Amino acid sequence: MWNKTYSIALAIAVLVMSSLCFYAYSWLSSIAAPVSVVQNYEYFSSIAWTFLWLSTIVLLILGNVLYWRIQQSWGLWATFLYFAAFIILQTFLFDETFRTFKNRNNLAETGLSFSPFFGVVLCLIGAIIIFFDQFLISRLHKKMFGVAPEEVKLESGEV
């Protein structure tokens, strides 16, 4: 049941996030006035960022439940992959394309963009959070039941 619940939640999150990213990105190829394109891109991009953060938190909670209940940590790492994939997409592709659009239409000064660096840092922080989250859940499980989730899996013979 928990595998299916998490899988459905992940699929919904990927679908909604992909739609929001596509809609925001599609504004950059619009033939509308450049100022209007910038406003609309920023609006839909901010919705995508908000949804990314909220959906990652929900998926992390479901991943923790999955790990606690049936001793499978794949939900935690799938949450990280979801988060990292969309962070990289946003910071490397979309932000750079948006910056290029603004430069081409004389709407911004040229200069260095720290967006890719910010994306890499966010991915590293996300990986650290997932690692320590799994460690904490494992230790709490061991403290409550006398055995860590990994050991339960090995003892029962499940693969």
* DSSP secondary structure of 14-35: HHHHHHHHHHHHHGGG--S-HH
Return d(Cα 142, Cα 139) in angstroms, integer: 5
Q: Which of 84, 85, 113 is nearest to 99 (CA)?
A: 113
| Bigger pLDDT: 115 vs 124 | 124
* Residue range 56-76: mean pLDDT, rounded: 89
Considering all CA atoms of the chain, what is the largest pairwise distance in Å, rounded to the nearest integer?
A: 64
* Per-residue pLDDT at 73: 85
Apex 159 CA angle, 126 and 143, nearest 5: 60
Structure tokens at 78: 């799938």
Read off the pLDDT of each residue in 98-124 and give the average, rounded to a whole number: 81
Helix (H) or strand (E) holding 88: helix 74-88
Q: How confident is the model at residue 159 (pLDDT cuts 50, 70, 90)?
A: very low
pLDDT score, position 88? 93
Q: What is the pTM of this model?
A: 0.83
More confident of the two residues 20 and 72: 20
Q: For the chain, what percent of residues have pLDDT higher than 70?
A: 89
Mean pLDDT confidence for 38-49:
90
Identify the residue with better confidence: 150 or 92: 92
| pLDDT tens track for 11-39 | 999 999 999 999 888 888 777 788 888 88
pLDDT for position 152: 59
Q: Mean pLDDT in the chain? A: 85
Q: Could you give the CA distance from residue 123 to residue 56 in angstroms, rounded to a whole number?
A: 12
pLDDT (average), residues 49-71: 92
